[in-house]
Amino acid sequence: MARSERLLALLQILRRHRHTVSGATLAGELGISIRTLYRDIASLQAQGADIEGEPGVGYILRPGFMLPPLMFSQGELEALMLGFRWVQKFADAPVTKAATDALAKISAVLPAELREELESTALLVGPRRIVDSEVVDLALIRTAIRRERKLRLSYADSVGALSERTIWPVALGYFEDTRMLVAWCESRQGYRHFRTERMLALAMLEERFPRRRAAMLKEWKETEAGPRRPIGAEAGTDTPSANAKSQP
């Protein structure tokens, strides 16, 4: 492995580890000696990488380090472009714009030959089967998720029955034929799935969740791991999770 490739690989390994990782572990993953690893760490630090630690203690990469002109493999470029094309086809306009801006930033720092490979990737995404039909702003949902703020929701189920709910938004799923909000519903005392095209009105409240969203997301995933239909498998309204309390 060339030294430039090895330095990039070292950065990727450090990014994967959220906590301090020993020099022996890093050297083992890269297949290099511990002395070579120390030299590579020093080289990255000299280039501006905020790597903290020392021999015998371990190392951690602090967030915020920007790489110089990027190098990607063919497979990585294909994955980037395929992901962007999927977002462009299935996400709402603000997310698509954000993806376009991110792709432009990546493209701007790529060497010319890699930029050409990125733009000529042959992996395509099929057509979307529905058109956007939401009357609410999905950006408000994403903001509430990030800020862990409650939402007041007016919702119509599959037969048109209306309801008013206070929910704690946990995740927003994008599918080929719908978009689905995962949320804890105060009135149902359980996780429910709300199709965004059936939302009639939405307001973000000042009140925050009493629990951390990350913990709730983990709990919902564990609930979904049980035997049940996938989200969106039936055209219902809010679909109760398998282990959640259920009531009319």
**122-156: per-residue pLDDT in tens?**
887 877 766 667 889 889 999 999 999 999 999 99
Domain borders along the chain are 3-61, 74-119, 138-224
What per-residue confidence (pLDDT) applies to 231? 41
User: What is the Cα–Cα distance from 212 to 209, expressed in whole angstroms?
Assistant: 7
Query: Residues of the chain with pLDDT > 90: what percent?
Result: 38
What per-residue confidence (pLDDT) applies to 205? 95
Q: Do domains 3-61 and 138-224 have the same CATH topology?
A: no
And the tokens for 13?
Answer: 């390994």
Handedness of CA 75, 103, 95, 171 (dihedral sign): positive
What per-residue confidence (pLDDT) applies to 248? 31
User: What is the Cα–Cα distance from 116 to 54, expressed in whole angstroms?
Assistant: 40
Segments of the chain with pLDDT less than 50: 69, 229-237, 239-248
DSSP 144-173: HHHHTEEEEEEEE-TT--EEEEEEEEEEEE
| pTM beyond 0.85 | no
Q: What is the CATH number of domain 138-224?
A: 2.30.30
Greatest Cα pair distance in the chain: 69
CA distances from 124 to 80, 84, 87, 96, 145 (A): 12, 10, 12, 16, 30
**48-69: per-residue pLDDT in tens?**
788 898 888 899 988 765 555 4
What per-residue confidence (pLDDT) applies to 67? 54
Q: Which of these CATH numbers, 1.20.140.10, 1.10.10.10, 3.80.10.10, 3.40.50.11890, describes 3-61?
A: 1.10.10.10
What per-residue confidence (pLDDT) applies to 66? 55
125 Cβ contact partners less than 8 Å away, ≥ 6 residues apart: 82, 85, 86, 88, 89, 90
The continuous run of DSSP H or E covering 73 comes out as none
**In the block, which residue shows the tokens 């105060």?**
186
